[in-house]
Amino acid sequence: MDFKTIIEPFRIKTVERIRLTTPQEREVFLQNAHFNPFLLRSDQVIIDLLTDSGTSAMSSEQWAGIMRGDESYAGASSWLRMEKAVQDLTGYPYVLPTHQGRAAEHLLYSRIGGPGKVFISNTHFDTTRANIEFTGALAIDLPISENSHPSLLHPFKGNLDTALLLENIEQYGSENIAAVILTVTNNSGGGQPVSFQNAREVAEICHNHGIRFILDACRIAENAWFIKHREPGFEDLTYREIAQKMFALADGCIMSAKKDALVNMGGFLALRDLDLAVQCRTVLIITEGYSTYGGLSGRDMEAIAIGLEEVFDPDYLHYRIKSTEYLAEKLHALGVPIMRPAGGHAVYADARSFYPEIPLDQYPGQVMVCELYRLGGIRCCEIGSVMFGKYDSGGRLIPAAMDLVRLAIPRRVYTQSHMDYVAETFAELVKHRDKKTGYRIAYEPPFLRHFTARFEAL
């Protein structure tokens, strides 16, 4: 029998209290946070959908692993376990542990970046772009055109446009392209999956032009689910086998273990090339820690080794993807414009279409984020002109391609009733859709401004 109810394939052993705030309290909290939910305290939030990163609930097996963690400075058994888990999964011989994904990005991109260098991706995640631009290099996003039409259905909207890739190689010269980075799933492009065929074509182009091909693999298990269910020829492979085939196409990977390794902290860089690994390892030891722990405790590494196994459990992945789709379909039914089909780790609402009368330089995405907090205590993140906007020489905003709001779903944390509550909050939001004004930015730092920017209501 095919049950409709998506049951969470786990029982709950420990619970964490949620403090239920009132709308009056939230109004004060929001003002004190300068209308930037990143500046809220977590106990002021009812449902926290800010990120799926580092917010997973660990399993009893992982907690057992935590007790087993070997905290030796060098050659800890927990490190050897993590190293083997990464090697078995990726096939890459050289593994460098880091405290999170962006540290791995820093190790690699600071070595291969620099002025005059070019990086090409389906879409660079914000820390990826920042790490690249910080070296003086150029980061170019080449998602397929379907990606910028939120309501247009396409099975692999995260794909990289290979025709444009070839044009850009021609334009910049292959010797100047430091790497092509395929982010699976494509987080900033709506959490959309990348097909195996697209990855294979990108690999071939890179190979033919002698360009390094790197996977940003932090959600590769979720990406494998989509390949198995949407791409002909993969029905009979396991999710893990699909991921392994994808790793086999590339020269290395960056991974934030805070996503599909189901842990609260950790990451790694894994490479095929010994020379490059040695160069990165030097930076690792200077900035993160010794090469057998990076920035990690032994117990973290133990939990990563276990998480990298657990994430490929078919029951888990089915529940994961289906529960994201469940929320997406509820919002769609309410008439909320969302990125469709739903991605793996998050639902992305299209705030620009939701609030057509709010000018883009008043940040419709930020309006939606603030309203969801006011109405339901939901915290989520703007992925639009606050995060990616730039200014022209006259100081006018150059808006991002889209103004999305991301409802990122922590792994194994919330139940179906929590998602029903989120949908109910959206039903309220729909009633107050006629907003005409938004916010102005009162303070912003030069890089990654969305984290600390302060806003004023207009």
The number of angstroms, rounded, from the C-alpha of 167 to the middle of its chain's C-alpha atoms is 27
Residues 440, 444, 446, 447, CA torsion sign: negative
Q: What tokens were used for 240?
A: 């893990």
Considering only 64-72, 87-95, 98-106, 356-364, which stretch makes contact with ligand F0G by CB under 6 A? 98-106
Contacts of 263 (CB under 8 A, 6+ apart): 54, 56, 58, 62, 257, 300, 303, 304, 307
DSSP 280: H
Least separation in angstroms between residue 441's CB and ligand F0G is 21
Decide if residue 101 touches ligand F0G (CB under 6 A): yes
Decide if residue 192 touches ligand F0G (CB under 6 A): no
Binding mask 3-42 for ligand F0G (x = CB under 6 A): ----------------------------------------
In what helix (H) or strand (E) does residue 408 lie, and over which residues does it extend?
A: strand 404-408
Alpha carbon distance 344, 71 (integer Å): 34
Decide if residue 100 touches ligand F0G (CB under 6 A): yes
Alpha carbon distance 367, 375 (integer Å): 12
Interface pick for ligand F0G out of 128, 198, 291, 366 (rule CB under 6 A): 128
Decide if residue 187 touches ligand F0G (CB under 6 A): yes
Least separation in angstroms between residue 385's CB and ligand F0G is 18
Least separation in angstroms between residue 185's CB and ligand F0G is 8
Q: What count of residues does the chain have? A: 458
Least separation in angstroms between residue 381's CB and ligand F0G is 7
DSSP 207: H
Considering only 121-129, 288-296, 355-363, 365-373, which stretch makes contact with ligand F0G by CB under 6 A? 121-129
| Nearest-5° Cα angle at 267, 71 to 446 | 125
Among 38, 30, 21, CA closest to 382: 38
Binding mask 198-237 for ligand F0G (x = CB under 6 A): ------------------x-x-------------------
Least separation in angstroms between residue 122's CB and ligand F0G is 10
Decide if residue 324 touches ligand F0G (CB under 6 A): no
Interface pick for ligand F0G out of 90, 183, 292, 324 (rule CB under 6 A): 183
| Burial of residue 43 (number of CB atoms within 10 Å: 0-12, 13-18, 19+) | exposed
| HSE-up of residue 309 (Cα within 13 Å, Cβ side) | 13
Scanning residues 234 to 263, which ones bind ligand F0G (CB under 6 A)? 256, 258
The 3-state DSSP class for residue 415 equals: coil
Residues that bind ligand F0G (CB under 6 A): 51, 53, 100-102, 125, 127-128, 183, 187, 216, 218, 256, 258, 267, 408
